[in-house]
Chains A and B, each alone.
Chain A
């Protein structure tokens, strides 16, 4: 893969927005079948331009308008905001108080930095294959809940381009949800609570809610490989002391001793599980059983959501197919059927796909005499690069949206025909 140099962005972006950005699909998504008048026209976009210039309240009349603008401005970053009561680019002409955010997809942002207290391999903006499993687990847990508990059908998961993933829930009813309900959903999905000053961040009650139970079952599939091997959380005293901080003091001495005798994290974990299952007669909650073990697993593996991203209807979030200015990676959709195989390090960068395009173009020019119009090339260019498969995932998502929409329209028209 071609190495990415941020200094080349201006040139690369020109090519990207001219030949590679999937405009047709993008418009198809945000237009939502044109069922609601002006839905696309009232959508806010924001651009981050060169030198960190940030402009809000961008809006467009149609796909062609969007294309022209992107090709003119070549933004480093695109954010998507809410659908407003009026065209965002005219918001200054609207009477005070009348310009309101009305609808938006329900979005989630899961960021690896929120796990710094429980990952030993990296910190801050860094990620590696050892800690990426956290994202894998997060996607499985959250997606299951959104689908099975809340009944949400149209969920688009996107790689953020550096250290996390985003989820866009696009069901019609979901776009209309109030801020209070969005907050409530995040609360429902939250289990790890507390900041830096809180050592033990997970406390389970005696009754385990089905959501928590099912999430624990998902974590169980990955825990051994992720926590006990890759992260090696019980490797040495320094690391296992952190686990002991989550366990009643009465157990510490015994565990310290036995940990010394064992050879690896797997053995130590087995021992800890057995010790935890024994009834704790001294402690206040006479919980016999695996609660302690689950609390540790959850603290180390359960997803951490940023409520502020999800609750505001007017919150702006990075757009799919936007470029990450620091890594060059494209924010690509993640195939839900292949979550476990997703590798952020193989996600195409803007430089790599531009390079691929160059190679292909020169080859094609050698074949034809270059009389083909630009447009024909443009509509199929991304397909010829490594971006192609990701656009396919996006198209599948759009197909499902279309099917749903048709179903809804049929239902409505049937109801109207009934007297």
Chain B
């Protein structure tokens, strides 16, 4: 069916996952993949389907990082327990954009203990001074844009989804909450 796929010397067939009757090119053990959570990820599920439709033979689609509705557990049950992996090991990375900058950055909020530390890091990262010309804002769980510093640090940590450093006229008059 497939020839051995090699890419830069890696034998990817070793880790390829496929369906097949036992005996005929026995299915490999699954690659270990850890899923973060089961937030509905529509683009992923569509990609899933496309790979199924394109395959001419009976191959299992490569396991995706997020699968909608799998395993079949109601969402409030899933949300009840923080998966141990996500919390302790992986950190809380959020994207940081700055008005006018072409690239985004990412910061791990877990590294900082308070607003002062975070703001200092941002100032270093973007070579700016937070004050009248730059105001740090963030998007919270509800999708609203908030000024950084208004809520207690712990609350900010758990509700911040991404950061945006506003610049210029929009920033003027906002100051910052810290």
Pairing of A with B: no
Show the binding face of A for B, using Cβ within 8 Å. none
Show the binding face of B for A, using Cβ within 8 Å. none
